[in-house]
Amino acid sequence: MMHSRNRRLRVNESIRSLVRENTLTTDDFVMPIFVMEGENQQEAIPSMPGIFRRSIDLTVKECKELFSLGIKSVNLYMKVSEHLKDNTGKEAWNKDGLMQQTIKAIKDAVPGMIVMPDVALDPYSIYGHDGIIENGKIMNDATNDALARMSVSHAEAGADIVAPSDMMDGRVLAIREALEESGFTDVGILSYSAKYASSFYGPFRSALDSAPKDNMEIPKDKKTYQMDFHNSREALNEVFKDVDEGADIIMIKPGLPYLDIVAKVREAIDLPIAVYNVSGEYAMVKAAAQNGWLDNDKTIIESLTCFKRAGADMIFTYFAKEAAMILNK
């Protein structure tokens, strides 16, 4: 006679929900947002159906709608005009720059929205790299100085948390010290600690025109500073260093192909963990759903729940608004 039957706890949805280990809510989501110059401007991103670049006024309108759906945090990226790009990134800390204006506008309109601006130089670089280049090399320490100035500028504009995504060594400490010295002791740092050099970023880079430029004098990719996707122990080394330097939240990027890294980091640290459901992951689901190969809504919820199961506390995802609508049904 069989005494143990696991199926007893799967008999119906009420029982399944009663014993469910992980639950997805709108509190888990951070919505990445692309901002462009102009007024009343909106441009579709062809490789990311349903995602747009918007001018500040329409971005504010979108943030109001997101907040009404229960999404309480946004991650900001700027589409920078070509004439503002150089090899120093100085536009990144322009107090009247597009990022700074956007932060202020969102915080004024939706005070409860947590604003996390991206901290990296690639949108501001003539080379499309996350760092300053000299003699064909990415200069780590000079870049850290620029990132610290950028972070303080974001804090002055009203950012709640700065999110360095560059993968320079020591930049968390440089940013933390700069924020403390400037009096921004309550501004958090969400560090992209384990960010891999991945092929899944393609649609994002086309959205911001931030891919490395085809120039024989500079690195053709970001593999000298982003992580090698063959490695996992290295991720823990990166995470531990960022924790020691003062990071408040740890990011792992990309998401679905790197759930093993999320689980490893969850076992190793007690800090909140973020995971980035990146543009390539979004594009694959959307393409399959549009072809009728996947159920759009069910696949979105299953994918996002997998991040929670692996140990993530928050999910940066382009599905945030759509997922919130599904959950709110």
Residues serving a catalytic function are 195, 253
Helix/strand/coil percentages in the chain, nearest 5: 45, 20, 35
CA-CA distance, 92 to 276, in Å (whole number)? 23
Q: Which two structure tokens, joined as six digits, stand for 296?
A: 């759009």
Cβ-contact 172, 145 below 8 angstroms? no
CA-CA distance, 51 to 197, in Å (whole number)? 23
Residue found under tokens 């600690």: 193
Cβ-contact 272, 220 below 8 angstroms? no
Q: Is 217 annotated as a binding residue?
A: no
Cβ contacts of 149-152, under 8 Å, gap ≥ 24: 149/92, 149/93, 149/178, 150/89, 150/92, 150/93, 150/119, 150/121, 151/119, 151/175, 151/178, 151/179, 151/187, 151/189, 152/93, 152/178, 152/179, 152/182, 152/184
Burial letters for 297-327: b for 16+ Cβ neighbours within 10 Å, e otherwise? eebbbebbbbbbebbbbbbbbbbbbbbbebb
Helix, strand or coil, per DSSP, at residue 276: strand
Residue found under tokens 């192909």: 257
> Three-state SS across 137-163?
EEEHHHHHHHHHHHHHHHHHHCCCEEE
For the chain, counts of helices (H) and of strands (E): 11, 12
Show binding-site residues for Mg(2+): 238
Show binding-site residues: 238
